[in-house]
Amino acid sequence: MSLFSSDSKTRLGIDIGTASIKVTELTKESNRFVLSNYGIFEAEPNEEATSVVRLSNDDLVSGIQQILQATHIKTRYAIASIPSFPTFSTTITMPYLSEDEVAKAIPFEARKYIPVPLSEVRLDWAIVNVHKDQKKLASAPAEPKNQPNIEVFLVAVPKEEVARYQTIMKDAGLNLRALELENFALARGLVGNDLSPIAIINMGGRSTSILIVENGFQRASHDYEIGGFAVTKSIARALGVNMRRAEELKRDFGIRNDTDNIVRQAMTSLVDMMAFETNKTIHNYEDQHKTKIAKIMIVGGLSNMPSFLEYFGEKLGRSVSPGNPLARVVIGPQLEWARKELNSTFVVSIGLAMREI
């Protein structure tokens, strides 16, 4: 699902976050993705800020240009992510007649769920499920008594947000070939052809998102305003240090249960809250859909903290694993040292650059 189209074999995935930009360059060779290059721009921590400050358009343009210059990336075909918070998305159930009839009915159905005029958004949709006991009817002429139902994923992106990204990419000297929700890039990068119910926990700087994917499509998502910034801020306050030092301590000590770990107590309540929200979302989905989540994957900067995955899994009472978007990507031995960082923090940009034509 995207808002434009793309046709280049080598392309950039550009993950624009609230306080960072991550760029990955992939080339498709013999049906395999090859990592050509990557780079990151991170805003300096603001000591006075009480929350994560969204980067301005000028900051984003400058940040992208700095990455391209530092990495000597020559590709200018780009696919960029749009975060979930400025968009509207939902899954609806409706009768299935034909592809054309569904396309005609979508705008009328969308008005019931999209809380702004459709003239103000770019609307996209995808059929994510045909009711299992009615799949055999989906390709046959429908009759009123046996008409199958389908589930359709709707997404609406404000036109002003689309225009904003177009302007940023143009000013950065890039050719924007596609815009895509970051959750779709996450699913593509991590799930592949696995059709089982999978939960993906993406721990960003501004927030944490819980995404549930089944049959290759997003089926549920939940965002809450706790991320890496809040954890760093808590450490800074507890220890009376600046944000930069708090970030260093977070990465060095993590949540190890050692007597000399001076930051563990400052972060456990926040991490416990993340685990609580994750458990609630997973249990609600399992109860509603009468299924079991087969796998839980965690990505984002927090997942790199020492002992974080073990602690989070204990709090969930479930097995968790780190995300691995490089499972289907070839990287040279000169980049092997960066595998952990790429797997945890570049998953969205990798998924974007993987987008098929």
The rounded distance, in Å, linking the Cα atoms of 77 and 8 is 7
Residue written as tokens 């400050």? 53
Question: Which tokens is 77 given?
Answer: 């075909």
pTM: 0.85
Domain residues for the domain of 117 are 88-158
Contact yes or no for 219/187 (Cβ under 8 A): no
Whether residue 154 lies inside any domain: the answer is yes
Contact yes or no for 243/236 (Cβ under 8 A): yes
Whether residue 317 lies inside any domain: the answer is no
Torsion of CA 337, 341, 344, 345, to 10 degrees: -150
Mean pLDDT of 224-244: 90
3 state DSSP class of 158: strand
Whether residue 131 lies inside any domain: the answer is yes
Contact yes or no for 187/200 (Cβ under 8 A): yes
How many Å separate Cα 78 from the centre of its chain?
A: 17
Contacts for 236 with CB less than 8 Å, ≥ 6 apart: 242, 243, 245, 246
Whether residue 304 lies inside any domain: the answer is no
Mean pLDDT of 59-66: 95
Question: Is pLDDT of 2 > 80?
Answer: no
User: What is the domain-level CATH number for residue 100?
Assistant: 3.30.1490.300
pLDDT tens digits, one per residue of 309-351? 999 999 999 999 999 999 989 998 888 888 988 988 899 999 9
DSSP 346: S
* Phi, psi (deg, nearest 5) at residue 25: -110, 120
Question: Is pLDDT of 47 > 60?
Answer: no
Mean pLDDT of 75-84: 90
Contacts for 11 with CB less than 8 Å, ≥ 6 apart: 25, 26, 75, 77, 78, 79, 177, 353, 355
pLDDT at 4: 46
Q: How many domains does the chain have?
A: 1
Whether residue 333 lies inside any domain: the answer is no
pLDDT at 1: 47
Whether residue 241 lies inside any domain: the answer is no
Contacts for 281 with CB less than 8 Å, ≥ 6 apart: 199, 210, 212, 220, 222
Q: Which long-range contacts (CB under 8 A, 24 or more apart) does 276-282 make?
A: 276/315, 277/208, 277/210, 277/222, 277/224, 277/226, 278/199, 278/201, 278/210, 278/316, 279/315, 279/316, 279/317, 281/199, 281/210, 281/212, 281/220, 281/222, 282/199, 282/210, 282/212, 282/316, 282/318
Whether residue 136 lies inside any domain: the answer is yes
Question: Is pLDDT of 268 > 90?
Answer: yes
Whether residue 320 lies inside any domain: the answer is no
pLDDT tens digits, one per residue of 128-181? 877 655 444 344 444 555 668 888 888 899 999 999 999 999 999 999 998 998
